[in-house]
Structure 1
Amino acid sequence: MQRLITPVILSGGSGTRLWPLSRTSRPKQLLSLTHAETMLQLTARRMPADAGFAAPLVVANAAHASMIESQLAEIGIEDASIILEPVGRNTAPAIAAAALMLPREALMLVMPSDHVIRDVESFRAAVTAAMPLAEEGWLTTFGITPDAPETGYGYIKRGGELAPGVFRVDRFIEKPDQATAQAYLDEGGYSWNGGIFLFGAGAYLDALAQYEPQMLAAVTKSIEGGKREGNCFYPDPHDFAASPGQAVDYAVMEKADKVMVVPVEMGWSDVGSWDALHTISLGDDDGNVHHGEVVAIDTKDCMIRSEGPLVAAVGVKDLIVIATPDAVLILPRGSSQEVKRAVAALQEKGHITLDRAL
């Protein structure tokens, strides 16, 4: 009998690359960016009970507990379990906490809460293709089919085919430069590393025991000493904070032997910048994407978004303008990764707009 898959939704990110709309008090996964529903809600909807999935398990920042519960309730998900991290320790400890809350034989579909997947059926088909080997102890990553020589993502090189559409991972590759990324695209056999995984809870914990025993020990102790309040579980803060902070790629996936990749084209974006949001949004005939109260005259290829004040733009092109009630961001289109420079300057000043709720 095939096991139910538990969606494990990682919702601990701060989303500073989408400042000033995204704040530590309400990061991008809790915002409505591409749809009337928030990114967390869209993620939770992808793997519903009527498609054969177990109730979701969300790992999140304790500061966002009430927002997460209310957003899930809004879409009819009342049975989710929520693990609330007292401090961020990156993805490997977060996934370990989830695995320790599940039976060892449970299959975990680990998904970031802030990604766009437009072709959900293709995603589900990839999960189905991965299931038989995942049940045999293989650790699965889903490779995003690249459509450009993107330098902002890590890459996965495919090895031999293990089953139809399923390949052994030859190696993981750090973010390349432009020429190398283009060579990967020309050669074929490479995928972007999108950070979506499928594996058994026991298989993941066994890998941690082998490669990161200190992490496993700390997280295990934090779960054993934690407390439950309704649907929420609070790991012991002292023990959880004692865990090394590391991404699952480095802690496990790049070290383990039985690692496979399922390449999939599914209309994926990590919405990692305002430029990325502009690209995936439906624009007008002049390439403009507007949201909120905007008056645009003779503008071209701009993204103008207002969460309050009227924004009037005349005779401009290739701009990103994001206005909230307490801050305005203006950037040349194509440079939106530079938001981090503004955020760093605000952090030095301890500026309230990094944290204040909108």
Structure 2
Amino acid sequence: MTDLLMSALAPLKLPSDGRALGESGRIAGCDLRDGVATIVLKPGPEGEDLDALRAAVAQALEGVAGVTRTRVIVEAALTAPARSRQAQGQPAKPVRAPARRIIAVASGKGGVGKSTVAANLAGACVKLGLKTGLMDADIYGPSAPRIFGLSDAPGLRKGDDGIEPLEAHGVKLVSMGFLVGERDPVVWRGPMVTGAIRQFLTEVNWGDLDVLIIDMPPGTGDAQLAVAQGAPISGVVIVSTPQTLALDDARKAAALFDRTEIPILGLIENMSFFLCPHCGEGTEIFGRGGARAEAELIGAPFLGEIPLHPELREASDEGRLVASGDGPVAKAFVRAAEAMLTHVEAAWRPAPEIVFTD
């Protein structure tokens, strides 16, 4: 099906310079799934009319069998300094930050509760009086709509100032889950995933945020590099369970961000112990203290333990944030958020200026 899309797009004349799209080298990827044609384009000349370009692409695909809707994603352009850094093999540094502090929440593997931790850290930041946003960068497995109670949200809308985020529990949100059906898989190749992430990073009207939490996908691939190289990340929080298997992959995630010169703000141990809702006693089901020991090993702060509690599962399934409450799990998230914010300020505190006097 991608051949049909490419054939239909090849003769399209670009509104910016009249060249044929097929000869311009700007098509980074395309896909047709459930009637939705997704086209990822490389950035064009400065000042290009993107609305006209998207309209022209949609018109070119109108006659293609199976296409009922067209989605066009234009990758963010690199600035001249960023191109220079990229040519030297260094991460591209963007020039615009959507928040005063951007904190990535990552894990080396899935299943450790990273998205739940990211969402509740955002909720804890709101509780601490901060204007907070959350970007769900897990394109293949978006969790934010369910966790924030927005599974039936109508979708994202683009206004004059960019893509308008949704809001729940005081947190502004964007997620691929707002653009696809709850049961619809996102079957995209790497360039299309990175294009979507870059669009979230550069085209969302976040407003004036104090903190933007990025819920990273698990692993150490294209999506992680797109975030690491496409946003001015203030620091990263690594989430792991106490098990050695999870810690092995958490170590790889920490190494990725270390290589991209992004500060490791610390580790959070999720499911650290089972907290009985009846007697209040803790049981170390998966062991305990593994993340603390790993933090000491790699020289990173330990931000805290999050217990395993039925309330956390119930709240996530029902679209509530535990961190908004007053129970022991909520207090654990607030303590972890406070530690995270303390370390992010320390990581980016300017060095003292030395003044020489006569």
TM-score by length of 1: 0.24
Decide which structure has greater strand share: 1
Return the structure number with greater relative CO, CA threshold 8 A, min gap 6.
1
